[in-house]
Amino acid sequence: MDPLSVLEEKKMPFAELLGIRILSAAPERVTAEMAVRDNLCTVPAVLHGGALMALADSLGAYVTLLNLAAGASTTTIESKTNFLASAPAGTTVTGECAAVHRGRRTMVWQTRITNAQGKLLAIVTQTQMVLEAPARG
């Protein structure tokens, strides 16, 4: 099954609530977009930092899922965000999450979030821990 189909089957309710739409997927990179809706904004009407971080966190989880053994799962154990510019309501942001390290126990990802003009809005680096499938017996 192709990676995009795998992620479509593994829907995350919070990512759906945010309106994240995956554009492309591979084990080393996932790209998605999100509309900056009024209910995701702060005052003034710009994307809330937490919504931006949630976009990056969701992409890191999605791409980690593409690298897990059957039955394994993942959780974020560290995340750092540099906010560089704002995204006004009514625009769309794009996140590209790429591998920094894909290990057996942890995976590190960097997400670059840009606006429609390609301006860099934020860089998020996160570490995902690999949770092995429970032993049977």
The CATH superfamily of 3-131 is Hotdog Thioesterase (3.10.129.10)
Q: Residue 126 has which token pair? A: 């996160």
What residues does each domain of the chain span?
3-131
Q: Which pLDDT score, from 0 to 100, does residue 137 have?
A: 65
pTM over 0.85: yes
At residue 135, the pLDDT reads 78
Q: What is the pLDDT of residues 53-89, one digit of tens each?
A: 999 999 999 999 999 999 999 999 999 999 999 999 9
pLDDT tens string 85-134: 999 999 999 999 999 999 999 999 999 999 999 999 999 999 999 999 88
Residues 6+ apart with CB under 8 A from 57: 76, 79, 124, 126
> Cβ atoms within 10 A of the Cβ of 65, count?
20
In this structure, the dihedral spanned by the alpha carbons of residues 6, 121, 57 and 40, taken in order and rounded to 10 degrees, is -100
- Residue 52 contacts residue 123 (beta carbons within 8 Å): no
- Can you give the pLDDT at residue 1? 82
